[in-house]
Amino acid sequence: MKIDEGEIVKIFCPVCHKDLLCLPDKSLARLIMKDSEGENLTVLFSVKYGEESTYIVKDEKVEEKYGKHRQDINFETLSFCK
């Protein structure tokens, strides 16, 4: 399989096969998990091949950003993730 730089890679749950893309921004995927204290976290990560960006969202606020392509993101847009 050949994937070109910048191409969107489809990410899905291996158990339920639900698409993990974050709408309306189809360049991010979303996982919901619990931290070590049992608090809910949202992890957003790029699904563009070659792009390195990951965001940890807690209480509707971006807590941490990782990767050389990270940028400031607006949570209002991310609240549409489904």
User: Which among 43, 38, 29, 35 is positioned nearest to 82, based on CA atoms?
Assistant: 29
Residue carrying the six token digits 């489809």: 10
Write down the pLDDT at residue 80: 55
Distance CA 50, CA 53 (A): 10
User: Which among 56, 62, 59 is positioned nearest to 74, based on CA atoms?
Assistant: 62
Write down the pLDDT at residue 49: 94
Q: Which residues pair with 57 in a beta bridge?
A: 42, 62
Write down the pLDDT at residue 4: 92
Mean pLDDT by 10 residues, the chain (82 residues): 90 90 82 89 92 90 91 66 57
